[in-house]
């Protein structure tokens, strides 16, 4: 696993997939409908721990660490959307589940979309929380991002810079964000930290290399889209500072009549952690 030193104070199991990947799963709740939770860039299973308790009474909830993150496969990989989509397909097959509701945050939103485009038969619905993939970038912008967001970008920040980066995810920083920040600070001392930084950079570049926006019209299941009204990370705060979150969200949802757009007020990018109750209400309503 990538971080054997990382302390998980909750039960999880590792699922071995056909391509030798190992995926850490937190599996809880009950119900015929299965929600599969996919975290964002540089995140992990605990990103969902304020939302899942509000859903597990009615739904089986499975949160995973993508390979290269948390307790899943160690080392680094391409970070491509094609790769991550295959991971989801193989995992669902290994768990012997018919169809799932894919729930993705940020990068996880684009991963879920990529998987739904490649393997539409594995999903019954999608929930996209502050998803990446709606915002588009010109070739020169993609080149700038790749030059300025490398493995070293994630390797070098000091504790103060990491705190500022975490704070940027919120409209009002919740106190219970602190354990996640401390986990990230500790990761700098772990033996596979360099590999992890490569995974994060590759994952960011992978989103640029395989955009989903031109294919949003092909998604053939109902989709709930949830954005925080005060998202400071979407649109890109440097390249697209003249745009507003609503412009990105609405342009994406205009591509498909099955996309249902929801906003949560006084909320930043890390929607499910800052406003879990409001997020759960939207998901419950969407799933009926």
- Write the pLDDT tens digit of every residue in 221-264: 999 999 999 999 999 999 999 999 999 999 999 999 999 999 99
Q: What is the mean pLDDT of residues 274-282?
A: 98
* Residue 98 neighbours by CB distance under 10 Å: 10
Q: What is the mean pLDDT of residues 81-105?
A: 97
pLDDT at 76: 87
Residues 6+ apart with CB under 8 A from 21: 67, 72, 73, 87, 90
**Parallel/antiparallel/unpaired status of strands 259-264 and 123-129:** unpaired
pLDDT at 118: 98
**What percent of the chain has a predicted confidence (pLDDT) above 70?**
100
Q: How far apart are the first and last CA of the chain?
A: 37
Spell out the CATH class of 13-287: alpha beta
Q: What is the mean pLDDT of residues 85-96?
A: 97
In the sheet that holds 60-65, the strands lie side by side as 13-16, 22-29, 60-65, 34-38, 100-105, 123-129, 223-228, 259-264
* Residue 4 neighbours by CB distance under 10 Å: 10
Tell the residue number behind the tokens 């209400």, with chain if given. 281
What pLDDT, in 10s, does the model give residues 34-82? Answer: 999 999 999 999 999 999 999 999 999 999 999 999 999 999 899 999 9
Establish how many alpha carbons lie within 13 A of residue 173's alpha carbon, considering only the half-sphere containing its beta carbon: 13
Query: What is the pTM for the complete model shown?
Result: 0.98
**Tokens standing for residue 59:** 């739904």
- The domain spans of the chain are 13-287
Tell the residue number behind the tokens 């998980």, with chain if given. 8
Whether the Cβ atoms of residue 106 and residue 132 lie closer than 8 Å to each other? yes
pLDDT at 19: 84
What pLDDT, in 10s, does the model give residues 138-187? Answer: 999 999 999 999 999 999 999 999 999 999 999 999 999 999 999 999 99
Spell out the alpha helix ranges (H) of the chain: 81-94, 107-118, 139-148, 151-155, 159-167, 178-187, 193-209, 245-253, 271-274, 276-287
CA–CA distance, 153 with 35 (Å, rounded to integer): 33
Whether the Cβ atoms of residue 10 and residue 33 lie closer than 8 Å to each other? no
Closest CA to 112 of 95, 135, 89, 78: 89
């Amino acid at each position: 696993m990538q971080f054997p030193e990382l302390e998980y104070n909750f039960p999880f199991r590792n699922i071995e997939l056909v391509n030798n990947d190992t995926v850490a799963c937190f599996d809880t709740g009950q119900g015929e409908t299965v929600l599969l939770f996919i975290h964002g860039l540089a995140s992990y299973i605990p990103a969902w721990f304020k939302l899942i308790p509000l859903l597990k009474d009615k739904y089986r909830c499975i949160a995973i660490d993508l390979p290269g993150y948390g307790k899943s496969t160690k080392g680094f990989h391409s970070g491509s959307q094609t790769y991550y989509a295959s991971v989801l397909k193989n995992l669902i097959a290994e768990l012997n589940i018919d169809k799932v509701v894919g729930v993705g945050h940020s990068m996880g939103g684009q991963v879920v979309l990529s998987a739904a485009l490649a393997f539409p038969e594995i999903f019954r619905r999608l929930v996209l929380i502050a998803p990446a993939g709606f915002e588009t970038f010109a070739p020169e912008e993609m080149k700038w991002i790749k030059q300025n967001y490398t493995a070293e970008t994630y390797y070098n920040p000091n504790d103060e810079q990491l705190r500022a980066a975490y704070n940027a995810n919120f409209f009002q920083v919740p106190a219970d964000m602190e354990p996640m920040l401390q986990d990230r600070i500790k990761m700098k001392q772990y033996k596979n930290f360099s590999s992890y930084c490569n995974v994060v950079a590759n994952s960011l570049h992978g989103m640029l290399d395989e955009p989903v926006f031109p294919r949003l019209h092909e998604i053939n299941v109902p989709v709930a889209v949830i954005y925080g009204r005060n998202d400071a990370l979407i649109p890109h705060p440097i390249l697209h500072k003249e745009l507003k979150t609503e412009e990105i969200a609405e342009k994406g949802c205009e591509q498909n009549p099955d996309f249902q757009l929801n906003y949560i007020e006084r909320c930043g990018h890390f929607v499910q952690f800052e406003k879990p109750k409001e997020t759960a209400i939207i998901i419950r309503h969407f799933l009926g």
